[in-house]
Chain A
Amino acid sequence: MIHQYKMNGYNIVVDVYSGGVHAVDELAYDIIALFENHSADEIVAEMAKAHPETPESEVREVIGAVQGLKDAGKLFAPDIYADHAFDFKNRSTVVKALCLHVAHTCNLNCEYCFAAQGKFHGQAALMSFETGKRALDFLIENSGTRRNLEVDFFGGEPLMNWDVCKRLIQYARSIEKEKGKNFRFTLTTNGMNIDDDVIEFANKECHNVVLSLDGRKEIHDAKRVTASGKGSYDTIVPKFQKLVQARGGKGYYMRGTFTRENLDFTNDIFHMADLGFTELSMEPVVCAETEPYALRKEDLPVLFDQYELLAKDMLRREKEGHPITFYHYMLDLTGGPCVYKRISGCGSGTEYMAVTPTGELYPCHQFVGDPAYKMGDIWNGVTNTALRDEFKLCNAYARPDCKDCWARLYCSGGCAANAYHATGSIKGIYEYGCELFRKRMECAIMMQVARQCDPALAAYANHAKGATGCDGCSACAD
């Protein structure tokens, strides 16, 4: 299967099953479109009409080049993965990541919060140190030979239980060597309780920090408010700036949510850049479609334009030597994930689970609070093994709707929680999310093509090469 599209002056061909990407001229673009279902003579006849200025010999030369790419497995590669996808159930699975809900409470009252203001439709609660410690032990016990273990302090607002977070990190550090593990901690915070102690400790210990900011003050303050309705922008922005400045190049993301009320969300991303932040993420709101701020089908063309505008502006910034990173446009074509990862996806319900303040296990943070999706607990392990098996089989090949989608090895079949909330089944698809995802991938691939084809961008190609940033070249030393 191939996918052809035009963007920003480039003609792009993506070969789905090999992962190949080709930048082609108009002639090759038209030939590739006909190649699988037409003979060489038929293609020559068609090209005589579409490109009368091109001699037949040149057309046949391009047909030969396309055949050469097919023979080399870089175009029209066959799908050889389907059998492996359904073999996943028989592979031993381990747990390698936990989302620790250390606080089911929050000091903000954001209208669009999928966690229902941190409480996940339950009681406000804080995780005790003993429960968190048992969660870390559960992770180690179930991680097999995996060395890298990920723990995200999540909520609600994790800084409302910061002392427990610190003690859990200290506990993990005290045992990781002896257990042969490497803990990577992430802190996801709204910023309200950031102080010097948080900055120092998180910057030393956390592999990644996710900082919630929606962009422009009026946009941010419209949704991210305190219990009394006061906007949080003025409180958090200086704290985020101080934290990021002190971070010394370690990973972080400014992470925003956009809604129908800021369809021009690129202005919010650019505002983050104006504030001095470079590692940026902006997610479409996930909510009931009855909400006034829910994204609608008629908004899609606007959003597509926005994503394209963002990609083009990011290329401009790269040329000027001031690049920014957008999470969804990070694409490592040479060092990216293997096909197993591309098929199996995020690992929710198998490799990745969420732990509530009282130690219950759920497939991921988005299922927390839904009794039908309780998997077990950290003392007795996964007891709902039927549910785990359902998640094991939930991959890019398990969803009938993904069968003909060119992007399925980029999203691995999409988010199970989004699918469930949109269709009632984790094997469904959230079509709206798919539309946005495909557009984002087209933009991300176009940026890679531009880096290869535009000499002014080539100098920055190495910078963008690594998903975590610069590879140490001197191209952007200025």
Chain B
Amino acid sequence: MNHIQTLETRDLAASLNNGGCGECQTSCQSACKTSCGVANQQCENKN
């Protein structure tokens, strides 16, 4: 029996090494304007 299903997710620890390019959208620009969520922003690092 399968007790644990692990979803495929981005490895945040690994993104310490390949992240930080800053090309992604400023989160507040898109729709909210009154709160701060970053998890719904897409990564734009194509490298």
Report A's interface with B, CB cutoff 8 A.
Answer: 17-25, 27-28, 58, 61-62, 65-66, 69, 73-74, 77, 80-81, 84, 94, 96-97, 99, 114, 146-148, 150, 152, 184, 186, 188, 208, 210, 253, 255, 281, 283-284, 286, 327-342, 345-348, 351-352, 364-366, 409-418, 433, 437, 440-441, 444, 448-449, 452-453, 466-468
Contacts and interface: CB of A to CB of B under 8 A. Distances in A.
B43 A22 contact: no
Contacts, number: 216
A186 B29 contact: yes
Contacts of B13: 17-18, 73, 77, 80, 339
Contact of B7 (A22, A62, A286, A467): A22
Given A19-B12, A28-B4, A69-B6, A346 B38 contact: yes
Interface string B1-38: 10111111111110110111011111111111111111
B31 A253 contact: yes
Given A19-B9, A21-B9, A65-B4, A467 B28 contact: no
Contacts of B20: 338, 340-341
B4 A22 contact: yes
A11 to B, nearest CB: 10
Specify which of B6, B16, B30, B37 lies most central, judged by the most chain A CB atoms within 10 Å of its CB: B37
Query: Chain B interface secondary structure, helix, strand, loop or mixed?
Result: loop
Given A22-B6, A338-B20, A341-B43, 7 more contacts: A23-B5, A146-B23, A283-B32, A284-B35, A342-B12, A412-B36, A418-B35
Nearest to A330: B40
Given A69-B4, A352-B26, A411 B11 contact: no
Q: Which 8 A-B pairs have the closest CB atoms?
A: A338-B19, A338-B15, A97-B26, A340-B20, A330-B40, A415-B36, A19-B12, A253-B31
Nearest to A332: B42
A412 B36 CA distance: 8
Given A65-B3, A327-B30, A352-B26, A337 B38 contact: yes
A40 to B, nearest CB: 16
Specify which of B5, B10, B34, B35 lies most central, judged by the most chain A CB atoms within 10 Å of its CB: B35
A410 B38 contact: yes
A152 B29 CA distance: 7
Contact of B30 (A208, A332, A416): A208
A366 B33 CA distance: 8
B38 A412 contact: yes
B12 A18 contact: yes
Given A28-B3, A334-B8, A80 B34 contact: no
A24 B42 CA distance: 27
A20 B7 CA distance: 7
A19 B45 CA distance: 18
25 contacts: A20-B6, A25-B4, A77-B13, A80-B16, A114-B34, A146-B22, A186-B29, A208-B30, A208-B31, A283-B34, A328-B32, A332-B42, A333-B10, A335-B43, A338-B15, A342-B38, A366-B33, A411-B38, A414-B35, A416-B36, A437-B35, A441-B39, A448-B7, A467-B42, A468-B42
A19 B38 CA distance: 13
Q: Report the interface size class on chain B.
A: 35 or more
A433 to B, nearest CB: 6
Contacts of A21: 6-7, 9
A188 B7 CA distance: 36
Specify which of A19, A255, A444 lies most central, judged by the most chain B CB atoms within 10 Å of its CB: A19
Given A99-B29, A410-B37, A148 B6 contact: no
B8 A336 contact: no
Nearest to B45: A338
A146 B45 CA distance: 12
Contacts of A345: 27, 36, 38
A346 B3 contact: no
B9 A20 contact: yes
Nearest to A59: B3
B5 A341 contact: no
Nearest to A466: B42
Contacts of B4: 22-25, 28, 62, 65-66, 69
A409 to B, nearest CB: 7
Nearest to A343: B38
Given A415-B36, A418-B34, A341 B10 contact: no
B43 A338 contact: yes
A4 B23 CA distance: 33
A467 to B, nearest CB: 4
A84 B40 CA distance: 22
